[in-house]
Amino acid sequence: MTDADPERIRVIHEAPDPRYVASGPVFRSNESRKPYILTVGSIEKRKNVKILIEAVAAMSPAERPDVKIVGAPGSAYEDCVKLIDRNRLTDCVEFLGRVSTEMIASLYRGASAMVYPSLYEGFGLPVVEAMACGVPVITSTSSCLPEVAGDAAILVGPEDVDGMRDAIQRVIG
């Protein structure tokens, strides 16, 4: 493919920002003592946030964790808002928008789980970030995510609402 000297070629692996570590400030909400799950990424169709919302809607109100969604509103934002309203989840689902790296790290550390149900990714860095913060990860079986997560995450089919619900319930106990 190239005339480059193979001795001069190095593979540089993707890694999280050094601020993503298990020790450090932990996000605490004054409003709720309930466990929360976190998802990180823009609110686009390919990020598949709707399955997370549907999975939480499939739980009884007493079982539902809070859900914190970090990321810029994108092509699926309005559909997600409608789904939240239709399922009366406005009391437990919160869009935080874009936040600082320090805040994301704090949110990871305070989360009961990080859910990353993406349909396709180039890498899926939030999976590695959450793991670096010591947070259980639930991610989809699609794209590169099983390879990125290895055996350190719970894998769920990207359209499997019941499987997602069960995985969340298992993690938050």
Residue 151 contacts residue 59 (beta carbons within 8 Å): no
Q: Which residue has the tokens 């406005």?
A: 90
What pLDDT shows up at residue 22?
Answer: 73
User: Which pLDDT belongs to residue 55?
Assistant: 98
Q: What is the pLDDT of residue 152?
A: 94
112, 35 contact by CB (below 8 A): yes
Enter the pTM of the model.
0.87
- Please report the pLDDT score of residue 29 as a whole number: 60
Q: Over its length of 173 residues, how does the chain's per-residue pLDDT go in tens digits?
A: 578 888 888 888 777 777 777 777 677 665 556 889 999 999 999 999 999 999 999 999 999 999 999 999 999 999 999 999 999 999 999 999 999 999 999 999 999 999 999 999 989 999 999 999 999 999 999 999 999 999 999 999 999 999 999 999 999 98
Strands in 137-140's sheet, in edge-to-edge order, are 93-97, 66-70, 36-40, 113-116, 137-140, 154-156
Domain ranges for the chain, please list them.
Answer: 32-172
Q: Does domain 32-172 have CATH number 3.50.50.60?
A: no
Q: What is the pLDDT of residue 149?
A: 93
pLDDT value of residue 31: 59
